[in-house]
């Protein structure tokens, strides 16, 4: 029997944050939990970010995931939405990094491809395939929760492969990989300013 591992998948958002947990034993995965954090009733963007951080910490401290898979923001036409989504993702990542949990980002297309074999699959198609794969009795009304679960399943399918997207083993690794400006720009490059000053 292989080593047991728990993967937390997160679909970050400032309206709804979806998340799902799976347990992996050897090459077999099983469903643990699927839920969402509804943020629609809050108007304050900074309060939403605080709640995302706290809920992610709570999930980590309750379920003790070994790894976190997170859906990377996609590049839409609305820059303001993209910025908010990026902040939501960053806050969820910071929660994981603060607990020293390895994090891997996946583009939405890569997640859809891993689950359905089609990078342009709809949320409904992804949800139905997850229902079949994990034997879910029913699906939630909002499919953000299944998107979070899909990130976890995508990570399971990609574990063991050499190229699995951007991975961070901890805060120092995150800063190291993201502090330098990239020449590729745009879609692959992520630029993060290292705001931590050495206190001597």
SS3 label, residue 103: strand
61 has catalytic annotation:
no
User: How far is Cα 99 from Cα 61, in angstroms, rounded to an integer?
Assistant: 9
Is 66 annotated in a binding site? The answer is no
Retrieve residue 187's tokens. Answer: 């879609």
Q: Which of 36, 67, 71, 147 is catalytic?
A: 71
Catalytic residue among 36, 67, 105, 144: 144
Tell me whether residue 38 is annotated as binding: no
Residue entry with tokens 């820059």: 79
- Is 147 marked active-site? no
Q: How many CB atoms lie within 10 A of CB 128?
A: 17
| 11 tagged catalytic | yes
Rounded Cα distance, 151 and 24, in Å: 14
Active-site entry in 11, 36, 67, 147? 11
Q: Report d(CA 50, CA 44) in Å as an integer.
A: 10
Q: What distance in Å separates the CA atoms of residue 189 and residue 158, rounded to the nearest whole number?
A: 21
Q: Which residues of 136-149 are buried (b: 16+ CB within 10 A; e: fewer)?
A: beeeeeebbbbbbb
11 is annotated as contributing to ligand binding = yes
Cα separation values, 174 from 11, 93, 121, 152, 171, Å:
19, 10, 30, 20, 5
Catalytic residue numbers? 11, 71, 144
Q: Enumerate the known binding-site residues for Mg(2+).
A: 11, 71, 144
Q: Enumerate the known binding-site residues.
A: 11, 71, 144
């Amino acid at each position: 029997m292989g080593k047991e591992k728990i993967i937390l998948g997160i679909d970050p958002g400032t309206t709804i944050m979806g998340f799902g947990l799976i347990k992996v034993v050897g090459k077999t995965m099983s469903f643990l939990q699927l839920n969402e954090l509804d943020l629609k009733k809050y108007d304050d963007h900074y309060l939403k970010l605080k709640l995302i951080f706290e809920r992610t910490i709570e999930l980590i401290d309750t379920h003790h995931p070994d790894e976190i898979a997170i859906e990377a923001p996609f590049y839409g036409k609305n820059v303001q939405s993209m910025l908010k989504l990026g902040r939501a993702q960053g806050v969820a990542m910071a929660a994981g990094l603060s607990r020293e949990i390895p994090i891997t980002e996946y583009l939405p297309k890569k997640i859809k491809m891993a689950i359905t074999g089609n990078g342009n699959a709809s949320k409904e198609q992804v949800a139905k395939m997850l229902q079949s794969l994990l034997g879910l009795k029913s699906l939630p009304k909002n499919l953000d929760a299944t998107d979070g679960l899909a990130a976890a399943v995508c990570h399971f399918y990609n574990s063991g492969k050499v190229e699995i997207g951007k991975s961070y083993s901890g805060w120092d690794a995150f800063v190291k990989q993201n502090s330098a400006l990239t020449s590729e720009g745009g879609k692959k490059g992520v630029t993060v300013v290292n705001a931590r000053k050495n206190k001597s």
